[in-house]
């Protein structure tokens, strides 16, 4: 039985409307490159609009443009987290809204409780924070989400790659080249044991 047949190669990518385009597509294609099966998960099984975020010169806040779209393979309510090797929490504005989904909270807690490979970037931190999973954990995130992390008991670290046990995180899409490699390595190690 191949890893993909027994779930050993499936990895969830959590999205919603206004997920950040680069935050989502970079890990999606890196997973394929690594021989994994990325499974896009969202509140419903449909097409989602992504955005591009950047603090432009002369601006003090993030500016947003419309990005590509992505189709969710599965709705949160249909997910059996046991069959997935790891999970990725994409950034953008989506986490602020989808963090109220009880199915997503259950899924998130599973990966933390089971010690499976987890990665988060930018606003992605808002999901494990809402699920009560960041207490005592060190994470990188975009500075404007520092409060979300710290009020839930986590420690903000302003670095491009923070590894805390099974959890790997970065601040923004500018950090993908720093934290994605360690997360892929964790997934490879986990796959070799499945």
pLDDT tens digit string along 178-188?
A: 999 999 999 99
Per-residue pLDDT reduced to its tens digit, 89-107:
999 999 999 999 999 999 9
Report yes or no on 66 lying in a domain: yes
Number of C-beta neighbours around residue 27 at 10 A: 24
Kindly indicate the confidence band of residue 18, based on its pLDDT and cuts at 50, 70 and 90: very high
For the cut 60, the answer to whether the pLDDT of residue 24 exceeds it is yes
Confirm whether 4 is domain-assigned: no
| 3 state SS of 55 | coil
Q: How many domains does the chain have?
A: 1
In this model, does residue 40 exceed pLDDT 50? yes
Instruction: Record the pTM.
Output: 0.94
The answer to whether residue 5 is domain-embedded is no
- Of 154 and 61, more confident: 154
Domain ranges, residue 17: 10-193
Q: Tell me, what CATH number does 96's domain have?
A: 3.40.50.880
pLDDT band at 1 (very low <50, low <70, confident <90, very high): very low
Is residue 102 situated within a structural domain?
Answer: yes
- Per the annotation, the verdict on 123 as an active-site residue is yes
Q: How confident is the model at residue 5 (pLDDT cuts 50, 70, 90)?
A: very low
End-to-end Cα, the chain, rounded Å:
11
> What is the chain's alpha carbon radius of gyration, rounded to the nearest angstrom?
15
Model confidence at 6: pLDDT above 70? no
Decide if 58 is inside a domain. Answer: yes
Q: Is residue 2 part of a domain?
A: no
Sign of the CA dihedral running 18, 98, 124, 3: negative
| 3-class secondary-structure state, position 53 | strand
Residue 193 pLDDT > 70, yes or no?
yes
Annotated active-site residue in 53, 106, 123, 176: 123
Reported as a pLDDT band with limits 50, 70 and 90, residue 8 is low
26 in any annotated domain:
yes
Structure confidence at residue 2 (pLDDT): 39
Report yes or no on 70 lying in a domain.
yes
């Amino acid at each position: 039985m191949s890893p993909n047949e027994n779930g050993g190669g499936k990895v969830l990518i959590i999205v919603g409307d206004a997920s950040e385009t680069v935050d989502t597509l970079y890990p999606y294609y890196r997973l394929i490159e690594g021989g994994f099966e990325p499974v896009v998960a969202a509140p419903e099984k449909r097409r989602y609009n992504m955005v591009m975020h950047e603090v432009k010169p002369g601006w003090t806040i993030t500016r947003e443009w419309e990005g590509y779209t992505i189709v969710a393979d599965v709705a949160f309510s249909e997910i059996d987290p046991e069959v997935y090797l790891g999970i990725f929490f994409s950034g953008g504005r989506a986490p602020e809204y989808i963090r109220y989904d009880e199915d997503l909270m259950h899924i998130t807690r599973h990966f933390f409780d089971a010690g499976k490979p987890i990665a988060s970037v930018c606003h992605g931190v808002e999901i494990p924070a809402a699920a009560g999973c960041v207490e005592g954990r060190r994470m990188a995130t975009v500075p404007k989400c520092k409060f979300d992390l710290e009020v839930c008991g986590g420690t903000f670290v302003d670095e491009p790659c923070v590894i805390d046990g099974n959890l790997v995180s970065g601040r923004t899409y500018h950090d993908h080249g720093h934290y994605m490699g360690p997360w892929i390595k964790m997934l490879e190690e986990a796959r070799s044991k499945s």
